Structure 1
Amino acid sequence: MAEHFDVLIIGAGLSGIGAAWRLRRERPGTTFAILEARDAIGGTWDLFRFPGVRSDSDMYTLSYPFRPWRGRESMAPGASIRAYIRDTADEGGITPHIRFGARVERADWSDGRWTVRLTGGETLTCGFLYACAGYYDYAGGYQPDFPGLADFAGRFVHPQAWPEDLDYSGKQVVVIGSGATAVTIVPAMAATAGHVTMLQRSPSYLSVLPERDVVADALRRALPARAAHKLARVKNILLAQGFYQLARRRPERFKAILRHVALQHLNDPAYLDAHFTPAYQPWDQRLCVVPGGDLFNAVSDGAASVVTDHIDRFVPEGIALRSGRTLPADVVVCATGLSLLPIGGVALTVDGEAVDPGTRVAYRGVMLSGVPNFAYCIGYTNASWTLRADLSHRYVLRLLSHLERHGYASATPVETPGERRPLLDLTSGYVQRALDRFPRQGDRDPWTVRQNYLLDVLTTPRADLRRDMTFTRRDAPVLEEIR
């Protein structure tokens, strides 16, 4: 007989550990397990091991609200984040509940429960299934079909599968891409490589932030850790939301601020115009953070450079560009983006009918229309992932308590008629390539997915759990539908 749990959580990364922490403290009698496909805690922060890997959100908002960030860096390296997640799991008594090497292949809802099937044949059941696997495809990132790649005589690597034996000391390196990964890798590799060239088709907006948060440091010197963490968190939330609103409402003013700050590190207006001035508006794509201006500093020092051009084909000695120029390379890093995968690629069925997430609508950004007792966790596109993740965890716990209090067996969001729009509002290539695989959002509450933490933190904890939701009772097969 399959082992049964009240709740199964998919993923032992930042979200999954946060969900389990909330669950253990707010519903101590609830049985649960975390199913982690890999052999370690950390999710994204354990998978990515490329040079310079770090957060692109400040740690006072990326860390958990219930466990203060005590590190020195505001933009922390991946190893520090990984250790923070692992220590949180250990301190919270969560680690014993994690089943490593447990990759979920499919989950089937019938007879008031989920039957979860793992690779290898093991089967578990649960009353509620919570997918905290993020939305990256862990099997591999996005790689274009480059003409002539087989002719290249050097080393070709993807950041998502960084080889431990790669020695690039003194070598010519080309990093293809202009997003957050490329912006991180270039200055990190430039410290020991012969030269690093960032090859981009088009520029991205870069935001220079200090490596240390001096206000947070002052607060930590004056106050207990928890109080200092809370105040630093509030300060950074307000600043981030304020800058986002400025970017959307006064884009020209916002662009002028970014340019002014960049010129403090790279005093070359013509170079900025050529390689750091995007054609799109700020926050049509996610801003890339440059801690301490490290990328600009590497360019200014001559250790790195930027080329804005298109690839014609790979040649044995490097990359031939459409302009006729050839970039010599011993190592090419393909930082061309990630591949997105909804709910960790788990195949869902409800009463024998396959669930295609791309045909469903997001309910409060947490559940799927027509899918009972199932939730998923995604973060904001304009703020730290953890801000929305923690709101999602708290919503799920409220729903579980509501079900228990009223004797309900299940809760199913029922879509109301209205316009459907994309779930994610970015024009980035990695988002656009996967839009049809992700749920849509509607045009009215509770079917909209806002990118505004300040509104969500006020409304989500008070959201009407019954609105557009159908419940079934434990003691009878009668539907109670509440609109």
Structure 2
Amino acid sequence: MMPPTDVEFLDVLIVGAGLSGIDAACRLTMHCPGKRWAMVDARDRIGGTWDLFRYPGIRSDSDMHTLGFPFRPWKETDVIADGPAIRDYIEDTAREYGVLPHIRFGWRVTGADWSGADQTWTVTLETPDGQRRLRCGFLYMCSGYYRYDRGHMPDFAGSGDFRGPIIHPQHWPEDLNVAGRRVLVIGSGATAVTLVPALTRLGARVTMLQRSPTYIVSHPRRDGLAERLFRLLPEKLAGLLVRWKYIGWSLLTYRLSRRKPDLVRRRIIDAVRDAVGPTVDVDPHFTPSYAPWDQRVCLVPDGDLFRVLKAGDAAIVTGRIDSFRPTGVRLEDGREIAADIIVTATGLDMQLLGGATLSLDGEKVDIAGRPVYRGMMLADVPNHALAIGYVNASWTLKCDLTARQVCRLLNHMDEHGYAVCVAPSDGAGPGRVPLLGLTAGYVQRGRAHMPAQGESPPWRVHQNYLADLAGFLFSKPADGTLAFERRHDGDKK
């Protein structure tokens, strides 16, 4: 049964116009040129995370040679790039590959229901012109893993008593003037370590307050070797070599961190001690209680955070908050920190599917604990994919592999006349492990609502690009796990 003619039908609907969505769309244009597709995004501009976050100093927390697209190498001089440059890169890529005309901004997916009889998804959307529906054969969710409308805000006692503004970086005011003002940044993750030197450059007197320290590593802002390679070699070859340099380095350092955590721990802390000098206490401010890569390691370009701390342009305090006061915060040990502005760099609220609900013939799909096939398909949910990147490397590395797998799967289905593909949960086995293997607070808070992994491939993500790339290159869609259904006749193979 074909979809009703009064509702628009697409072969593929991509949800989300950030890095993973644009990657998916470009791959679709390259590998599945005959498909009818569109992309929707709830925001009014392209870029996803890199359009949403506009706090001072916003930048990548991975090198751009792997965070960028493999089919369009990053050629700029900054390896750790700022948010506007990344957004421009995403938009330029979308323009070059003809993606922009396919994007419908201000369209937010609220629900999608799979019809077994029609072998299609009916998608409900909120648009600037009201609620709309469309249908698609394949639903590709590239909407990330956190809430766009709000960040995580702990319930601090007495927060209503503070006389100044309390700001979450996810919603930074455009007109905020920090010059000459005392700014307290609460947090120790990538956002906090980015904000501190950036606010200092704007003339603020900054204190970074952390409950517990994070591993922080200095990374060169520019890569001289990469610049020479792009100057001397063809662009694609230079991009490939530089990309693999960074892939290899990230794999090596992660593997070493897991095998010899004490060695890596000492190396990181010794480097911080050399960078901040004797005036800043490395213990407790830069000595985490956990092993490297139990949580994501923060990068600071050219050691900018260490420089402002060493120079005394910013301060760092480690302790737990007792309560907010009218002019600052009081810690549990009795210390008080004065502030005119408080910035709560306290993390994200996790949310898969952009808050949309999935249902199968009207029955809601509970994604909590549901195993995920190859890190891209929820078990027992037909004709869909999720873009979920790595937690120990650049997000785009895994998302690009997923996009290539989706294209190969769609072409396989066309070649054999299949209308439906599904990953039955029976093959996942009984064991479950967390989908994101980090102990970070935002991961722990959202774990109860997130899908899971099985104990072995193809239901387990390696968190290793080489292993996942080999799995892609040496496997086929008909791998004995996926089940396929032909159009109309219901003949399963």
Superposition TM-score, scaled by structure 1 size: 0.98
The answer to whether the Cα contact below 8 Å between 1:55 and 1:76 also exists between their aligned partners in 2 is yes
Question: Residues 424-452 of structure 1, C-alpha deviation per residue, up to 9 Å, x if partnerless?
Answer: 11000100000111111101111111100
Residue 469 of structure 1 aligns with which residue?
482
Residue 361 of structure 1 aligns with which residue?
371
Identity %: 51
Extract unaligned runs of 5+ from structure 1: none
The answer to whether the Cα contact below 8 Å between 2:272 and 2:286 also exists between their aligned partners in 1 is no
For 1:390, what is the secondary structure of its paired residue? helix
1:115 matched to 2:136: no
Residue 278 of structure 2 aligns with which residue?
268
Alignment of 1:324-363 (within 5 A): 324-363=334-373
Alignment of 1:42-191 (within 5 A): 42-110=47-115, 111-119=118-126, 120-191=130-201
Alpha-carbon shift at residue 188 of structure 1 (Å): 0.5
**Amino acid aligned to 1:222:** L
Supply the distance in 1 between the matched residues of 2:279 and 2:37 (Cα, whole angstroms). Answer: 56
Range with greater deviation from structure 2 (68-77 or 220-229): 220-229
Supply the distance in 1 between the matched residues of 2:306 and 2:93 (Cα, whole angstroms). Answer: 35
Supply the distance in 1 between the matched residues of 2:79 and 2:280 (Cα, whole angstroms). Answer: 31
Alpha-carbon shift at residue 397 of structure 1 (Å): 0.5
Range with greater deviation from structure 2 (196-205 or 319-328): 319-328
Change (3 A) 1:444 1:194: closer
Alpha-carbon shift at residue 205 of structure 1 (Å): 0.4
For 2:244, what is the secondary structure of its paired residue? helix
Alpha-carbon shift at residue 228 of structure 1 (Å): 1.1
Alpha-carbon shift at residue 270 of structure 1 (Å): 6.3
Runs of 4+ more than 6 Å apart: none
Supply the distance in 1 between the matched residues of 2:235 and 2:484 (Cα, whole angstroms). Answer: 43
Supply the distance in 1 between the matched residues of 2:277 and 2:41 (Cα, whole angstroms). Answer: 47
Question: Residues 315-354 of structure 1, C-alpha deviation per residue, up to 9 Å, x if partnerless?
Answer: 1111111111111101100000111101211100012211
Supply the distance in 2 between the matched residues of 1:337 and 1:389 (Cα, whole angstroms). Answer: 22
Residue 3 of structure 2 aligns with which residue?
none
Change (3 A) 1:194 1:35: closer
**Amino acid aligned to 1:437:** H
Residue 399 of structure 2 aligns with which residue?
389
1:229 matched to 2:239: yes
Supply the distance in 2 between the matched residues of 1:239 and 1:105 (Cα, whole angstroms). Answer: 40
The answer to whether the Cα contact below 8 Å between 1:135 and 1:344 also exists between their aligned partners in 2 is yes
**Amino acid aligned to 2:203:** A
The answer to whether the Cα contact below 8 Å between 1:263 and 1:269 also exists between their aligned partners in 2 is no
Extract unaligned runs of 5+ from structure 2: 1-5
Q: CA RMSD in A?
A: 1.1
Question: Residues 88-133 of structure 1, C-alpha deviation per residue, up to 9 Å, x if partnerless?
Answer: 1111110000001000000000020000110132111000000001
Range with greater deviation from structure 2 (90-99 or 188-197): 188-197
